[in-house]
Amino acid sequence: MLKIAILGMPNVGKSSLFNCFLKSRSAITSNIAGTTRDIKRQTFLLAGHGVELWDTGGFDPAHIFGDKIASFNMGAVQSCDLILYVVDGKVPPQDTDKRHILSVQKQNRPCFLLINKVDNENEVLSAYEFASLGVKDMFFVSASHNRGLDKLTQAILKHFKLKPLEAPQVQETPERIQVGIIGRVNVGKSSILNALVAKERSLVSSVAGTTMDPVDESVEHNGQEICFVDTAGLRQRGKIEGLEKFALDRTRKVLEKSHVALLILDVSAPFVDLDEKIASLAEEFRLGVVVVLNKWDIRHASFESILQTFKHKFKFLQHAPIITASAISKRHVPQIKDKILEVHRYFSMRISTSTLNKVIGEATERHPLPSDHGKIVRIYYSTQFASCPPQIALVMNRPKALHFSYKRYLTNTLRAKFGFLGTPIILLAKGKEDSINP
């Protein structure tokens, strides 16, 4: 997936442009310099192509975190495929901008210069003085008036030699998104629920097995109703006692009706095998997934170490977003709800047949299907026949010859093109005479 970073000085409109691309108010904007400090990342579709957009903090040596922000920003330059450097078109070119642009160019990263706040043609004429900053590709935009973004989008596609794809359709959002909260006993599921709904909805104690019946509570977030269901904490099968057998059965019934699983993992101690078994429930029920690393304030190891262990143990969740959180301090609790909405959008996505065939066709041209005992294996066409989660039929001459490794290659291709954050993709090989259904 392409990665694009937005850089620049404070108050030039970076976060406003970020929101324009996403068509939402995802990033907080204000006229206070230094509002954005951490790097915010979000995926979206640019003319049908999946893109990860990075909103960075403004370069400001006078800011208390100025050096740290600058360090983060240059790290973003190394990690991204294209830099959009933003300047204020109502202020003359600054030497500081030229220095930052030179730093970007020294790292051999392609850079577009965006002159923001250019609201009319007269301002365009005066904005040509920004050519002195030494960037060949200049674009005159206005985030507040949504001006110049179409031309910028076309330039990005041309730079990466991409053709616009038909935009995937998202089915109507349901009345509410059902989210099942799962995890071992005492990982903090009930505390996370209470933090998400901002009230003591679920009983919390240090006694393992406190939650037996599923506890549900609905909240509204960004105009969408989310229903959280706190399920009983699960134990090793040999340790399930009495009423907990019924609790396990009820947990499975909750997941049958869920769209997204909120997997809570306790990082105050190393992961255990049971964590993987519980996580596999999300895969079994074909749910979208958001992973929450809870108790981050008392984590047992560094972020890098925990992430490395997670990637090793939870290979089947590499597509899931990960959020470090603390139910006690409320760390990153709002971001959990943001991610649930984002994952559900991909969970509901429907790709047109023409777009899907184009992407699958290009994938098979790059890496042809292996033959079946010397006989050619061919995909005639592909079509998405269901969503929630996305389910795609590959109509073939030899459906039984589709190897799991090639299916994984096609799945990775679809993720690279469309994102599908936290969402399982179901690929079914079918013969011409087979009916297309789940």
Query: Is 15 annotated in some ligand binding site?
Result: yes
What pLDDT shows up at residue 244?
A: 41
Query: Is 73 annotated in some ligand binding site?
Result: no
Pick from 380, 379, 289, 263: nearest CA to 343: 289
Query: Is 57 annotated in some ligand binding site?
Result: yes
φ, ψ of residue 144 in degrees (nearest 5): -70, -30
pLDDT tier, 234 (very low <50, low <70, confident <90, very high otherwise): low
Task: Measure the CA–CA gap between 194 and 113, rounded to whole angstroms.
Answer: 45
What pLDDT shows up at residue 435?
A: 62
Query: Is 118 annotated in some ligand binding site?
Result: yes
Residue 252: pLDDT over 80: yes
φ, ψ of residue 246 in degrees (nearest 5): -70, -35
Query: Is 223 annotated in some ligand binding site?
Result: no
Query: Is 419 annotated in some ligand binding site?
Result: no
Query: Is 190 annotated in some ligand binding site?
Result: yes
Query: Is 187 annotated in some ligand binding site?
Result: yes
Pick from 75, 1, 81: nearest CA to 43: 1
Query: Is 294 annotated in some ligand binding site?
Result: yes
Query: Is 371 annotated in some ligand binding site?
Result: no
pLDDT tier, 32 (very low <50, low <70, confident <90, very high otherwise): very low
**Lowest-confidence pick of 343-347, 380-384, 403-407, 430-434:** 430-434
First CA to last CA distance, the chain: 28
Query: Is 56 annotated in some ligand binding site?
Result: yes
268: left (phi over 0), alpha (psi -120 to 50) or beta: alpha
Query: Is 204 annotated in some ligand binding site?
Result: no
Query: Is 14 annotated in some ligand binding site?
Result: yes
Query: Is 230 annotated in some ligand binding site?
Result: yes
What 8-state DSSP symbol labels residue 171?
P
pLDDT tens across 95-105, in order?
999 999 999 99
**Lowest-confidence pick of 207-211, 269-273, 362-366, 395-399:** 207-211
Query: Is 231 annotated in some ligand binding site?
Result: yes
Go through 172-183 and write b for each residue having 16 or more CB atoms within 10 A of its CB, e for each that does not.
eeeeebbbbbbb
Query: Is 142 annotated in some ligand binding site?
Result: no
Dihedral over alpha carbons 258, 355, 382, 321 (to 10 degrees): -30
Q: Taking a C-beta distance cutoff of 8 angstroms, is the pair 53, 80 a contact?
A: no
Pick from 4, 30, 3, 2: nearest CA to 15: 30
List the structure tokens of 24: 């939402």
pLDDT tens across 128-185, in order?
889 999 999 999 999 888 889 999 999 999 999 998 877 666 655 557 899 999 998 8
What pLDDT shows up at residue 194?
A: 87
Query: Is 88 annotated in some ligand binding site?
Result: no
Taking each helix axis from N to C end, the angle separating 404-418 and 353-366, rounded to the nearest 10 degrees, works out to 120
Query: Is 267 annotated in some ligand binding site?
Result: no
Query: Is 310 annotated in some ligand binding site?
Result: no
Query: Is 11 annotated in some ligand binding site?
Result: yes
Go through 66-85 and write b for each residue having 16 or more CB atoms within 10 A of its CB, e for each that does not.
beebbebbbebbeebbbbbb
Residue ranges with strand state E in 47-199: 49-55, 82-88, 111-116, 138-140, 169-170, 176-182
Query: Is 19 annotated in some ligand binding site?
Result: no
What 8-state DSSP symbol labels residue 184?
B
Assign 413 to helix, strand or coil. Answer: helix
Average of pLDDT values for 286-290? 97
Query: Is 186 annotated in some ligand binding site?
Result: yes
Pick from 387, 185, 407: nearest CA to 286: 387
Residue 124: pLDDT over 90: no
186: left (phi over 0), alpha (psi -120 to 50) or beta: left
Query: Is 250 annotated in some ligand binding site?
Result: no
Query: Is 116 annotated in some ligand binding site?
Result: yes
List the structure tokens of 259: 């769209």
Query: Is 420 annotated in some ligand binding site?
Result: no
What pLDDT shows up at residue 206?
A: 41
Query: Is 119 annotated in some ligand binding site?
Result: yes
